[in-house]
Amino acid sequence: MTVNLPLPQKNELKPVKGFQMGIAEAGIKKANRKDLLVMTLAPGSQVAGVFTLNRFCAAPVQVCREHLAHEGKHGDIRALVVNTGNANAGTGEEGMQHALETCAALAKDLKLNPEQILPFSTGVILEPLPIKKIVAALPKAVANLGEDHWFDAAEAIMTTDTQPKATSTSVQTPAGVVTITGICKGAGMIHPNMATMLGFIATDAGFAPGLLRGLTQEVADQSFNAITIDGDTSTNDSFIMMATGQSLVQIESISDPSYAMVKEALVSLARKLAQMIVRDGEGATKFMTIEVVGGKTVEECRLVATAVSHSPLVKTAFFASDPNLGRILAAIGYAGIADLEVSGVQLWLGDVWVAKNGGRNPDYQEADGQRVMQEPEITIKIDLGRGNATQTMWTCDLSHDYVSINADYRS
């Protein structure tokens, strides 16, 4: 079940010049399913990424960080490889060797250096990567390379996702048109501590050296770092932005007239992808927007938004459409703002003013709260009454199906 999440249409996913994808069936966990993806970039492309902060980060995450840190020493990053069905996390030195072996095998097929490859894995933790199956299937993925394989690529990285997640856009800048297309995967083990899933965005814009790195973090913070499903931060979270530089738009600095326009388009597309993850949250029946305003700082607004979004009591109440809204006030209270004056806090549920000056609004009727809670998309607005800072996060409810899905995840 998804919450208002239409299936992406293949003909709406725009090719990005200089970027190709190839898909294969390696049989990593299940037979007859796409589970291996190779992506290649034209010479001169730029790549930047942000990764999980989980200390048990997966072997491929460690390899990606190393290869990006030394990019240029052995040549620019030219390819990425993703497998699903196995996370290659909690696998020790053997896992590192398998990640490096994957890079070496693909490098041989593409006539590149292994350090020009970024590996990614997603799936079950603490199980050895079936490296022989992956290496054997890589030539099939390479032979399948094409610019128009975005839909199949989105399918190839799915785990408990119920459908592929992909979207495209284009933006007219003073220098020309920029194309942006992205895919992501994620439905559970989602909590903001970097990027909280696997996400890949490609654009044909060009950027001056170093510019893409800071932009990638900004995009992540405004999208994938603003979602939560269950409060679990994965060992494999990775968000990658790639710029092939194949369009007429070449951005030299943040003051470039095209920069703000391209940044806005990238944030918008990444936010749409991030919200797709929430809409496809494991067992989700409600899509919830948590809007916190009136904070002294963005960070304290984020603390409140995270506490409310993460609360199992809040999430289960929304699943049941039970307006037990004191649970929201409790989450605000324990969010970590030591000097919060609760008498200044206001709370709205949709168009219903629930809490006024830190207590129940005398005009609030529970029937009004229940009416809003029965809707599939709900906005919770919290005004802290302390300043002008804001922060928005997106989450979903917590249902019986979430327990069932994760109790039976490895079967």
Query: Could you give the residue numbers annotated as active site?
Result: 196
What is the dihedral angle through the alpha carbons of 79, 82, 87, 91, rounded to the nearest 10 degrees? -40
CA distances from 307 to 5, 333, 397 (A): 25, 9, 14
Q: Is the dihedral of CA 88, 119, 272, 304 positive or negative?
A: positive
Which pair of structure tokens corresponds to residue 342?
A: 């609760």
Name residues whose C-beta falls within 8 Å of residue 339's C-beta, 6 or more positions apart in sequence.
Answer: none
CA atoms within 13 A on the CB side of 38: 29
Q: How far apart are CA 184 and CA 2, in angstroms?
A: 16
